[in-house]
Structure 1
C-alpha cells in the first residue's frame, strides 16, 4: 500500500478554511443575486400587465391600517423618552430650550423611519413570510402556475406596492406622534415653554430632513417586503428543514435579515443624505 502524501494532506488542511470561506461568499452572492432578480420581477409586475388594485388595497389595509396602533404607541413613548433624556442632558449646558429641535431631528431623521420599519417587519413582514411559505409547501403556488396565474403578480407585487405606500405614511404618523410625546414630557411635565419648543422645531427642521426620512422609508419598504416575500417564496429550497420547520426557519430568517438590512441601509443612506 502506498503511503499517503503528507504534503498534499497538509496543503488540503491549510486550504480548507479558505475553501469554506469561498463557498460561503459564493452562496451569499448567489442569494443576493436571486433576491435582486426577485425584487425586479416583483416591481415589474406591479405595473405590467396591469396593477392588481384589489389585492393592493387588501395589503394596504393589512400592512398599513393594522399597524397604526403599534406605530402610534411606539412613537408616543419614543418621543417621551427622548424628551426626558434630552431635557436632563441639555439642562446641564443650560440649553433646555433646544429640546424641541433635538427631539424633532432625532425622530424625523433616524428613529422615525428605522423604528417604523422594524415594527412593521415584526408585525406584517413575519406574516408575509409565513403566509407565502405555507402556500409554497402546500403547493398553492404551484397550483397558481398550473392555472396560468403568475404568482409574482398575484402574491408578491401587491405586497411590494402596498409597502411602498404604507411605510412613508406610517413614518409620518410616527414622526408627528413622537414630537407630540416629546411635547408631553418637555412642556407638560418638565415645564418648558411651549412656544420655545415649537419655535425651535420650526427654525431647525428643514425640508431636506423630512425628505431624507421619507427616502429612507421607501428604501426600507422595498427591502423589507422583498426579503420577507423572498424567504417565504423559496421556503422549499432551504437545506435546514422542510415543511412546517422550513416555514418557521424562513419566517425567523426574514425578520432577522430585514432588521439587519434596515440598520445597514440606514447607515449607508445617512452617509449619502447628510
Structure 2
C-alpha cells in the first residue's frame, strides 16, 4: 500500500511538472504536432481495422440474439447504444495503450538508458517540457479522435454485415440507429470517457517511461507496465464513469 501511495505521489508530481512546463511556444507546438502524428495518425490503421471487425462481430451476434425474440429489425438499436457508451471508447483506448502507450514508454525508457534525458538537463533544457509534455498533450488530443474513427468504422462494418449478409432492410437499420442514439447521452458519454481514458493512459505511459531504470531491462519492464496498467485503468475508469454518467 505504501508503495502504491508513493507511486501515486510521483505521478502527481510529474503531472504538476508537465502542466508547469506548458509554454505552447513555437518549438513546443512543433513537438506536439509531431507527437500527434506519431501517436495519433500512426495508430489510425489498427484502430480502423479493429473498429471494422468489432462492428462485424457485434452485428452478427446481436442479430442472433434479437432473432430469438423476433426483433431483428431493431439491430441498429442493439449496436448503437453499447457501441457509443461502452465498446467504442473502451476498445479504442485499449488499442491505444497497446500501440501508442507502449511506444511512448519505450521511447522515454531508451532516452534514459542512453543518457539523452541527462544530456538535456546538462544543457539547461527541461526534459519534462521537451520530451514528456508533448507526448502527454498529443495522447490526450489523439484518443478522442481515434475513438470517433473506431465508432465510424464499427458502424460501417455493422451496416454491411446487417444489410448485405443478414438481409436486414437498410432503412430499418438506419432508422433504429438514429432513433436510439442520443447526442447528449450517448455521444457525450462516449467522448467524456475517451477524454478521461486518454488523460489517464497517456499519463501512465509517460510516467513509467520517464521513471524507468536506465537499462534495457528497465525499458522492457516500463513498456510492459504501460500496457498492463493503462488497460486496467481503462476498465476501472469505465466502471466509475459508467456508474456516474448513467
Q: Scaled by the length of structure 2, what TM-score is found?
A: 0.96
Which residue of structure 1 aligns with residue 212 of structure 2? 235
Alignment of 1:1-274 (within 5 A): 25-47=1-23, 52-207=28-183, 208-236=185-213, 243-274=215-246
Distance verdict in 2 for CA 1:173–1:92, change over 3 Å: same
Distance 1:64 1:48 in 2: 19
Per the TM alignment, residue 160 of structure 1 is displaced from its structure 2 partner at its CA by 1.3
Distance 1:44 1:197 in 2: 49
Distance verdict in 2 for CA 1:104–1:42, change over 3 Å: same
**CA RMSD of superposed structures (Å):** 1.4
Distance 1:53 1:87 in 2: 47
Distance 2:20 2:172 in 1: 48
Q: Which has the larger radius of gyration?
A: 1
Which residue of structure 2 aligns with residue 6 of structure 1? none
Per the TM alignment, residue 232 of structure 1 is displaced from its structure 2 partner at its CA by 0.9
Query: What are the Cα deviations for residues 79-120 of structure 1, in whole angstroms up to 9, with x where unaligned?
Result: 000000000000101111111111111111111111111111
SS of residue paired to 1:64: helix
Distance 1:36 1:181 in 2: 41
Per the TM alignment, residue 261 of structure 1 is displaced from its structure 2 partner at its CA by 0.6
Unmatched runs of 5 consecutive residues or more in structure 1: 1-24, 237-241
- Please tell me whether the aligned partners of residues 45 and 51 of structure 1 are also in contact (alpha carbons under 8 angstroms): no
Distance 1:220 1:49 in 2: 27
Distance verdict in 2 for CA 1:50–1:34, change over 3 Å: farther
Query: What are the Cα deviations for residues 229-248 of structure 1, in whole angstroms up to 9, with x where unaligned?
Result: 11111112xxxxx6111111
Distance verdict in 2 for CA 1:188–1:44, change over 3 Å: farther
Distance 1:173 1:30 in 2: 37
Distance 1:44 1:184 in 2: 48
Unmatched runs of 5 consecutive residues or more in structure 2: none
Q: Scaled by the length of structure 1, what TM-score is found?
A: 0.86
Query: What are the Cα deviations for residues 158-212 of structure 1, in whole angstroms up to 9, with x where unaligned?
Result: 1111112111111011111101111111111001111111111111101121011
